[in-house]
Structures are given as structure tokens and as C-alpha cells.
Structure 1
């Protein structure tokens, strides 16, 4: 349908632009991207599509926000960092009866959004949160792997990002914000406090990344996957390439004075310094991403491990594909589930596989029977 209107909040950022580009490539929808100001005269034209137009909008202008939402069929919230956001956009969508997606990556924001589930359901609004690459595609990979088992027992989800990931300073902010406080992880059927960027583990990713170090990291999946699947343990770990950045992040988490990480000005300073560093190293490391989902459980009475991996050369583009693919399904009325849902509770595996394949993303899957220990 050519008369569908999509509103992308924060559409001038790297992730927002990637979502817009994915929609242009896969739908005929008219797309409005917003920002507080037009960054440059060529900002919208760089999208190279007549489907896209710009709207100046400050999210603090609630009246303007409501007016913009009312004239669209789908709102995609890309204006992070979400740790600092409230749920006013989602509430406005529910009030206006407009479907909603976001690329949120904050545990606290996710909890606030999920609390609006009954209101969204009553209003017939489908709201899917935590879309993108991680969380997002990663959640669907876990669902895919869980469904291959008769009973899932442990989920181990790992990510590695090369340099800046092509996401500008955003990925830096997200990383440092994730270091602020210990968080709760589901381990052996109970919630346990975990220190961020602790318990380094070497994980085998596909080429070109190979073995890479990953660390505990606070992500919405750490608790939404527990709600979605009856497993004993959910492990979520993150790492950077080159490994030098892992050591710097570990120092920030464990050595720096806490005030540096908890102060917004400190976050901005560290994020911009890191971004300048990666602008140099990106030329060597690239800006890609690798995801590894590993689910252990039972299949045909035998302990079995299902492992799926996915690699993309540009993290921001992959995030755009993750969100854009769900938007495409919603616009085509192929995905309708009133309420507020994390990706793994809303997107059926078959639709997930169809949409990522249409975007040239390849899911590699291995199934291994785990030998019984010798007595």
C-alpha cells in the first residue's frame, strides 16, 4: 500500500537512517523522519528517496508529538539513549490507536513499556519493543533455537561488535550506560546480582571474528527471555573488537570512580573520546557485528546443544534490517498482536526467517548431541 505513513522518531541518527533505508528498499510506505533540527540541507536528500520527508520535532513537545503520531499508521522510536526516555511516545500511540516499534535497549525502559501491555491490548495497538540487532534479531535467534528442542534449559547469548559498529556515538553511550550498576541475571533458577563487564569468556564466533572475549552485560534480554522461555539460566554477554577496547571498558567498569559513569556529562565525555578512537580503528577492524545464540536442552531424550550464528558487516545496517523487517510485516498486516511485546514473544520463527533471508542475512545453525560424561 502506498498510502501508509510511517513516523521514525530520531530518524536522523545512524540507526534511524538505517531503518528508513530498509523501509524504502522493502516497502512503498511514505516515511517521515524527525529530529529537533535538520542537521544539514542534504540530510534528507542523502536518503536518496522521494518516500522520505523531514519533520522538525522535539519529543518534549507533547502536543506536537501527538499531532505527528495521529497522521501515521506506524511509529518507530529510534531516539535513544532509552535509559533517559519515558514511555510518553508509547502512551501517545496507545491513545491514538497507532502501532508502535522501538529500538530500546534499556532494562528500566523495557519494564515501563511492558507495564502498558493491558492498555495497548485494550486499544488494539500492536507494540513491539527491543527491535533491531541486539536486542532484536538476537531474540528471534534464541526463539528459533528453543523451538528446535523438546525442552530448553540454558540460553547463552553473546555479541561482538567491531569498533563503532557504524552506529556513531550511540553504541558508545549504550556501552557506558550499561556499566552503571550491577544487574540481576537468572542463574540456576534464581536471580543473582552480576557486575557489568565481569567474568570474561572466550567465545567462538564465525569468521572474520573467530575467538573473541565477551563479558556480562545488562540487556533487556536478560529478563525478557526468562519470561518468554522456562529455562534455568540466561547468560547475556557482550564484547568489542579489537580486544583493546574490552580492556578499556573493563577499566571503566571496575577502576574509574563511579561518579564518572553515573554522571551524564561523564558518559558524554567517555563516549565521544571512544568514538574518536574507533573512527581510526574502524578502518582496520571494520564496523560489523556477530551474534551467537547457544541453547542447551533435551531433544528426543538426549542432551542437545543448538547453536545459531549471524554476521553482518555493518552493525547499524543490521539493526535497520531487524526493525525494518518487523515494520514491513506490520504494514502488510502479517504481524498483528495487540499488547506490548519483546520481539521473541511477537515474531513467529517462520516470519523471522523469511524476512531476514529477503535482506540477505544468513542464519547458520548447528545441532550437537552432548555426550554423557564417562562414569
Structure 2
């Protein structure tokens, strides 16, 4: 029988990329939702408001898998996940913030008892980045530290939600796992210059993403670093000013934040013409192999960030639909997808994670 997938928030650019990947890689029937009628005719559409809990509950019963891409997730709760548990439907999302993770994992025991597999933080970062970190850990006998660096060109081909998420990430300091203890870091500080595939050297800065919080829980490492940067470089200067020079009330005010997000998206669309909309990720995992200190370096590049998100989500959906993953509970993606499966789903999409291991230079 044809499997049916509901993509909540699928009416946006990210959602449509997810829908396309799933439809290209599986035989499933995809339906997308949004608050407003969709001008796109690629997939069946349902009008759905996340505040209408009764309708969400009624709707989910008709599907085999629910994919939640309606961000930003900074202010989301676990209502969609809970509805999936009540309906006996598997669940995945693109959540990218620790506050949502902390709510979602509270449903772990209920998911286990219900036989439901719920996978959090799929996409590209988090998502592909988490699995790159796991691959690096598995290449070593013992891992000590994970450094993840992300670079996005222009708008990344995404829409307004991604811009909102970026500014929400600048609002307050966050905890990071350094030398076996939690320390507080301010967003967009401590620049590092990293050599990225395709782009070359670029600056990156501390940024609060889900893997900052989940990787120390998933792997026995002493340090996890997550830093993000933009192209062209002047966007980094503007973001730094937003984080450290704007009066604090601007990022706390929803109207001001919306204005900044819309202005930033308009600017990014202009620079897309020469910067492109791609993404590069570098992962550096340090530890020991055969009694020697070693460093694993992993690289990923895609010319379109939004499509990369679609690949990250769609590949996990594919594994669930084919029952190559079946592990009841609520999991961060790196806890449930091993490196063999990761390599398989990337290869099926014509992508490759470049990985190497060498003696530690330090």
C-alpha cells in the first residue's frame, strides 16, 4: 500500500525541498500544510494552523509519517509530537534549538511504549552535521573533541523563517561543553578562520545550534564547538553588530525582529547573484586511534542550502519508511543513524562526505 506523509509547514521553501526529496526517493504520497492556501501545485495541500490542536489530532491519524518543518523552533512545544504518539505515527523534525529538544525528549518513555520512532534535528545543520560528527567519532577508537564549522552563502535559498531563526539565535548567551564542563558563550564571538570546501578561508563565530547541546549527550567527548559564518563576509559584521551593538530590546521585540529578518532576506536575495546560495560544513574530530593522537577531518558542500536541508530530512524519512530504522523513543538524529546508513543515503543522492584521518598536529 502507498505510504502517506504529512509535512507540517511544508508550504515554505524548506518544506518544498523536503517534499521533493521524499517524492524522488520513495513511492510515498506527500501532502504539505500551511496556514494559507498554497500557490504551488506540486503536492496536495491542507490548510492547518498549529494552534488548532483538535484539527491536528484528527488530521495526523490519516498518515504514516509526520515531518515537522514549521519553524522557528525556539518557541515551539511538543504538541505535534504528542499528537503523533496518540495516533501511533512516526515523527521527524528540523528542530534546531535546545529549548525544543529539552521539551521533546520528555516524551521518550511514551514513544517507547507506543512503539513510535521520533527523530529530532534532521536537515543540514543540525542533521547532516550531526552525522558527520558521528562518522568522525566512529573513525577513532576514542574521541576527545568535536568541532563543527558551518558556512552559508547569501540567503541559502531559504525564506523568512531561516532569517528569523538567525536573529533569535543572537538574543542571549548559551551554554557550551568545553573541557568537560558547561561554559557560557555569547553568540557571534571568538572568530576562527576555517578553510571550507569550494569557498576557501572564511570567518566563523560561536552560534547556538541543537548539536551544541546534543553531541555532548550522544558521545563521551570533552569539548564540542559549533561556529557559523556567512558569505559575503560583510554579513558577519552586520550580524555581530546586531548581537553586540543593538539595544537589547530590539532582539527581544517581535516587531523589530520581524523587520530585521525581512530586511536581511531582501539584502541576501540581492547578493545571491554573485555569492551563490550554497553551504559548506567542516567537522574536526580529535582523539586516539591505535594508541596515537589522531584528527578526523570531514567536509561537505552543496550548491543550494535549502536543497541540502531537503536531502537531510528526506533521507531520514526514507530510512523510516523502509524500516531501515525502527527504534521506538525520541532521539537526536546522531543517536539513531549509524555511519553505514549515513554513507548509503548520501551515495544514493550522488553526494559524498570527504573524510580523512591524520596524526594530530598539536
TM-score (norm 2): 0.99
Residue equivalent to 2:236: 246
C-alpha distance in 1 between matches for 2:257 and 2:119: 28
Q: Is the 8 A contact 2:286 2:360 kept in 1?
A: no
- 2:221 maps to 231
CA distances 1:171-203 after superposition (whole Å, capped 9, x unpaired):
211110100110000001110000000001101
Tell whether the 8 Å contact from 1:165 to 1:171 is kept in structure 2 after alignment: no
Is 1:9 the counterpart of 2:32? The answer is no
State whether residues 298 and 304 of structure 1, in contact with CA within 8 Å, keep that contact through their aligned partners in structure 2. Answer: yes
* Equivalent residue number for residue 190 of structure 1: 181
Count of aligned pairs: 362
Counterpart position of 1:173: 164
Alignment partner of 1:117 is 2:114: no
1:291-302 → structure 2 map (5 Å cutoff): 291-302=281-292
Q: Note the alpha carbon deviations across 1:304-328, whole angstroms, 9 max, x for none.
A: 0001000000000000000000001
CA contact (8 A) 1:182 1:193 kept: yes
Matched with 2:248 is 258
SS at match of 2:44: strand
Q: CA deviation at 1:91?
A: 0.5
How far residue 170 of structure 1 moved from its aligned partner, in angstroms, is 2.2
SS in 1 for 2:293: strand
Q: Quick one: distance in 2 between partners of 1:300 and 1:141?
A: 21
Q: Deviations over 1:332-363 (max 9, x none)?
A: 11111100001100111111110011112211
Matched, 1:142 2:150: no
In 2, distance between residues paired with 1:361 and 1:270?
35
* Residues in 1 aligned to 2:84 and 2:170: alpha-carbon distance in whole angstroms: 31
CA distance in structure 1 between the partners assigned to 2:212 and 2:36 by the alignment: 35
- For the 8 Å contact 2:38–2:45, the answer to whether it is kept is no
Structure 1, 73-82 or 2-11: larger mean CA deviation: 2-11
1:115 CA displacement: 1.5
Q: Residue 29 of structure 1 corresponds to which residue in structure 2?
A: 28
Q: Deviations over 1:188-221 (max 9, x none)?
A: 11100000000011011111x1001000001110
**d(CA) in 1 for partners of 2:278, 2:360:** 31
What is the rounded CA distance, in whole Å, between the counterparts of 2:255 and 2:358 in structure 1?
48
Distance in 2 of aligned mates of 1:370 and 1:72: 49
Alignment of 1:1-375 (within 5 A): 2-40=1-39, 43=40, 45=41, 47=42, 52-207=43-198, 209-371=199-361
Once residues 138 and 218 of structure 2 are traced to their aligned partners in structure 1, the CA distance between those partners, rounded to angstroms, is: 12
TM-score scaled to structure 1, two decimals? 0.95
Structure 1 residue ranges without an equivalent (≥5)? none
2: CA distance between counterparts of 1:368 and 1:263? 48
The alpha-carbon deviation at position 39 of structure 1 amounts to: 3.3
Structure 1 outlier segments of 4+, above 4 Å: none
